[in-house]
Amino acid sequence: GENVEQHPSTLSVQEGDSAVIKCTYSDSASNYFPWYKQELGKGPQLIIDIRSNVGEKKDQRIAVTLNKTAKHFSLHITETQPEDSAVYFCAATTLYDKVIFGPGTSLSVIP
Amino acid sequence: DSGVTQTPKHLITATGQRVTLRCSPRSGDLSVYWYQQSLDQGLQFLIQYYNGEERAKGNILERFSAQQFPDLHSELNLSSLELGDSALYFCASSVPTWGAQTGELFFGEGSRLTVL
């Protein structure tokens, strides 16, 4: 079955700096790679996703890149703000199938 | 508000007991997922239902069971509870009956189970 690894487990950055979180997956059949943000006391919420026919996708300060050959994908947050502080989860799946999450990255943005 | 409702929000019980967690998916969503999140842990996939049928199973213990009813709500039953079962249990829904399937999971706010 699918296995997703995620690094780093914790990340501290100064406000305004960039943050990068990296994930690898094992199942070459996976073709959908979402990223979720979990704020304290809440359920995870989708922030951006990418499909296997796309190499990069950007939404304002957030971007994701995908390398299907190497089976890894990354989340990039630029100009970080204190409200970006949260736990971020990557995931790999195919549509309609079970969604397997990475172990999470706790991001702290220091004002 | 994701549209997914989980009850109860908090539950405290003793070892050996049995509890039932309930999830009402987003209106029209056919698929329900259950995840377990222990302290400082990630989201462990337990089980997925699609339109009343079990679709995928993860590392769900034999003491745990789930079902999805004809009205699409789901229940997760946890029995013979142990201290290690203390966790946050999330339900998520997806796959709308109308509109495009985007793949997005909509999570509830979770049910926090404490086993003493």
Quickly state the pLDDT bin for A39 (edges 50, 70, 90): very high
Q: Record the tokens describing residue A103, joined without a space.
A: 């172990």
* Predicted local confidence at residue B59, as pLDDT: 85
Interface residues from chain A to B (CB-CB < 8 Å): 32, 34, 36, 41-46, 49, 89, 93, 95-104
Each residue of A8-29: pLDDT tens digit? 999 999 999 999 999 999 999 8
Whether residue B38 lies within 8 A of chain A, CB to CB, comes out as no
Each residue of A45-86: pLDDT tens digit? 999 999 988 899 999 999 999 999 999 999 999 999 999 999
Pairing of strands B10-13, B111-115: parallel
The CA angle A31-B108-A25, to the nearest 5 degrees, is: 25
pLDDT at B91 over 90: yes
* Predicted local confidence at residue B103, as pLDDT: 81
Chain A nearest-CA distance from B14, in A, is 23
> Residue range B27-47: average pLDDT?
91
Omega within 30 of 0 (cis) for the link into B70: no
Going across the sheet that includes A56-59, the strands are A4-7, A19-25, A72-77, A62-67, A56-59
Whether residue B36 lies within 8 A of chain A, CB to CB, comes out as no
Quickly state the pLDDT bin for B96 (edges 50, 70, 90): low
Nearest CA in chain B to A89: B42
Yes or no: say if A63 and A19 are a contact pair by the CB < 8 Å rule.
Answer: no
* Predicted local confidence at residue A9, as pLDDT: 95
Query: What is d(CA B25, CA A3) in angstroms, rounded to the nearest whole number?
Result: 26
Chain B nearest-CA distance from A78, in A, is 23
For residue B28, the number of C-alpha atoms closer than 13 Å in the C-beta half-sphere is 7
